[in-house]
Amino acid sequence: MRSETNLDYEVVVVGAGVAGIYQIKRLIDMGIKATVLEADADLGGTWYNNRYPGARFDSESYTYGYSFSKEILDEWHWKEMFSGQPENLKYLNFVADKFNLRQHMQFNCRVQSAIFNESEELWDIKVSDGRELRCRVLILALGLLSQPTMPRVEGVEDFQGRSWHTYNWPHEQVDLRDQRVGVVGTGATAIQVIGEIADKVGELTVFQRRPNWVAPLNNSEISPAQMDEIRARYDEIFETCARTPGGFEHEPDRRGFYEVSQEERYELWDQLYDEPGFAIWLRNFREIFTDEEANAEISAYIAERIRGRVEDPEVAEKLIPKDHGFGVQRVPMETGYLEAFNRENVQLVDISETPIERVTETGIRTSDGDYDFDIIVYATGFDAITGSFDHIDIRGRNGMTLKEKWFDSPTTFLGMMVSGFPNLLMPSGPQSGSASTNYPRGIENGVDWCTEMLEYLYDNELGYFEATEEAESRWTEHVVKMYSVMLMRKAQSWFTGYNSNVDGHEAGKVRYMVYNGGTPKYVATIADVADKDYEGIRFSNDAHMPVEVVTAD
């Protein structure tokens, strides 16, 4: 085999988050020359950036950790059932340091463009530090929610106090005491922030355009003895995650919704509401996701729980969603969110009634008047999944840009490849198994599959790989079909590609962002493709294509 001398790296991985960390581990273990380019100053992705008060898992911590290393499972002690951001970032650093991965990562390196060089069949990459790098295989581990979006409101720059998007919450401690704080947005992020800061600020004003269904997180500490029990159960835990649709320990109730009486359903919901994490969402009857009537009943139940926790009936009604049912968007988990609105120092401004007109030097002006603040927090969400791809100039064959190709809706093969973009892999791309599951469970499957595909490529001395158009169409049609049975298709959320602050992503059109078939079906499908010698992927043994794996530094 020959080696390719004009390559800087055999593989470049973009992103040092949860997926990038595991991906580089697998590549280094293969002995190939690979590096991670990370735009941030350090590793961690989501857990490096989201430092807002209240940021924590809503996956049980021990189901969120990597499963690939027994050493890590034995050594790491999760201290809370739903661990907070500082601890989660510590964990990712612990993993990276354990396997000496940091030496294979380059920070403050934002990839600006990645252009497929057709004559040499290599990727030419431009980095923000001015370097131009060349690699054969490009792996984009960009994360799902790494492109924050500010509201498209006039005057955001005029505000003279302090303001930031939750994703960019300052790294240094922010003293909130006596501060007048405005929070824009009531998504999963805002719901964590509000629950956490309501009793720490002077005054808190929440600007809500559309309410979200919420349910209590029911967090608790994990004692050393409990952690020992968890360690003893790790095999069982990961087996359970592998057989559930969402990659959690929560298994759906397999009884038919209409097979049990309403009384029994309410008994189950009373129990699930008080259980930790997504139990009320994911251990529920499957019909709540697909059947309007079943969904209406669980929605009515949750609405009653909201009324029971919010003292002012008018505020309670405002906090109950009317435009979508419970669970058809990802359910934000909360700690004290609803009770925050019972406090004297917290007020809810319904901007569906009195819209924000502009941000002023002193605060926010709605059609009803001015609100003055010391701090404005924009919890206004993300240009989800495709946004971080769109911010890199990625060009495949014939100069086609990925942004153009995906403008209406992404099209992919297994969520991990794109036709027309050879030698490109996305272990957690749109329509992959990672996007709608407990993320680490999804990315381990994605990274393992991508790595094994590369091993196949090298073992068989093949040149390049590219998903065929037919395979891509088949997969994308399958993804679209899955949406047709889900009530989710009717909701405006990042699962349907909605973001009111991004051109072309506003309400009114569905973008098919996630795979809804569940973990077991996804894993069986990608395994089948591999078993059939990667059916749906075209490989080449072009003479121009060097096939040797360049040895590590």
Of the pair 24, 306, the CB lying nearest ligand NAP is at 306
In sequence order, which ranges of 172-287 are alpha helices (DSSP H)? Answer: 188-197, 224-232, 234-243, 262-273, 279-282
Of the pair 126, 490, the CB lying nearest ligand NAP is at 490
Q: Closest separation between CB of residue 263 and ligand NAP, Å?
A: 33
Closest CA to 417 of 398, 399, 396, 391: 396
Q: Closest separation between CB of residue 514 and ligand NAP, Å?
A: 10
* Per-position DSSP letters for 2-19, written without gaps between them: ---TT-SEEEEEE--SHH
Q: Closest separation between CB of residue 377 and ligand NAP, Å?
A: 11
Q: Closest separation between CB of residue 355 and ligand NAP, Å?
A: 8
Of the pair 190, 414, the CB lying nearest ligand NAP is at 190
HSE of 161 in the Cβ direction (CA atoms, 13 Å)? 19
Q: Is 310 in contact with 316 (CB distance < 8 Å)?
A: yes
Q: How far apart are CA 98 and CA 76, in angstroms?
A: 11
Q: Closest separation between CB of residue 247 and ligand NAP, Å?
A: 13
Q: What is the 3-state secondary structure (H, E, C) of 130-195?
A: CCEEEEEEEEECCCCCCCECCCCCCCHHHCCCEEEEHHHCCCCCCCCCCCEEEEECCCHHHHHHHH
Q: Closest separation between CB of residue 270 and ligand NAP, Å?
A: 24
Residues facing 537 on adjacent strands? 467
Of the pair 210, 250, the CB lying nearest ligand NAP is at 210
* Per-position DSSP letters for 321-349, written without gaps between them: -SSS-TTSSPPPEESSHHHHTTSTTEEEE
Of the pair 125, 375, the CB lying nearest ligand NAP is at 375
Our separate counts of H helices and E strands in the chain read: 18, 20
Residues in contact with ligand NAP by CB under 6 A are 56-58, 145, 151-153, 184-190, 192, 209-210, 330, 351, 356, 379-382, 494, 500-501
Of the pair 123, 341, the CB lying nearest ligand NAP is at 341
Q: Closest separation between CB of residue 220 and ligand NAP, Å?
A: 16
Question: Other CB atoms closer than 10 Å to residue 465's CB: what's the count?
Answer: 20
Of the pair 278, 285, the CB lying nearest ligand NAP is at 278
Crossing angle for the helix pair 18-30 and 439-459, nearest 10 degrees?
30
DSSP assignment letter at 375: E
Q: Is 294 in contact with 257 (CB distance < 8 Å)?
A: yes
Of the pair 104, 511, the CB lying nearest ligand NAP is at 511
Of the pair 111, 376, the CB lying nearest ligand NAP is at 376
Chain position whose Cβ is nearest to ligand NAP: 187
Q: Is 80 in contact with 87 (CB distance < 8 Å)?
A: yes
CA R_g for the chain: 24
Q: Closest separation between CB of residue 110 and ligand NAP, Å?
A: 22
Question: Other CB atoms closer than 10 Å to residue 74's CB: what's the count?
Answer: 10
Q: Closest separation between CB of residue 493 and ligand NAP, Å?
A: 7
Q: Is 423 in contact with 466 (CB distance < 8 Å)?
A: yes
Q: Closest separation between CB of residue 268 and ligand NAP, Å?
A: 24
Q: What are phi and psi of 425, to 5 degrees?
A: -125, 150
Q: Closest separation between CB of residue 507 and ligand NAP, Å?
A: 8
DSSP assignment letter at 31: T
Determine the 3-state secondary structure of 471 from DSSP.
helix
Q: Is 39 in contact with 20 (CB distance < 8 Å)?
A: no
Of the pair 104, 210, the CB lying nearest ligand NAP is at 210
Q: How far apart are CA 261 and CA 263, in angstroms?
A: 5
* Residue spans of beta strands (DSSP E) within 15-149: 34-37, 105-106, 111-117, 122-127, 132-140
* Residue spans of beta strands (DSSP E) within 408-451: 424-425
Of the pair 22, 248, the CB lying nearest ligand NAP is at 248
Q: What are phi and psi of 369, to 5 degrees?
A: 145, -175
Q: How far apart are CA 262 and CA 272, in angstroms?
A: 15
Of the pair 16, 356, the CB lying nearest ligand NAP is at 356
Q: Closest separation between CB of residue 262 and ligand NAP, Å?
A: 30
Q: How far apart are CA 423 and CA 466, in angstroms?
A: 6
Of the pair 90, 134, the CB lying nearest ligand NAP is at 90
Q: Closest separation between CB of residue 61 and ligand NAP, Å?
A: 11
Of the pair 188, 316, the CB lying nearest ligand NAP is at 188
Q: Closest separation between CB of residue 85 and ligand NAP, Å?
A: 9
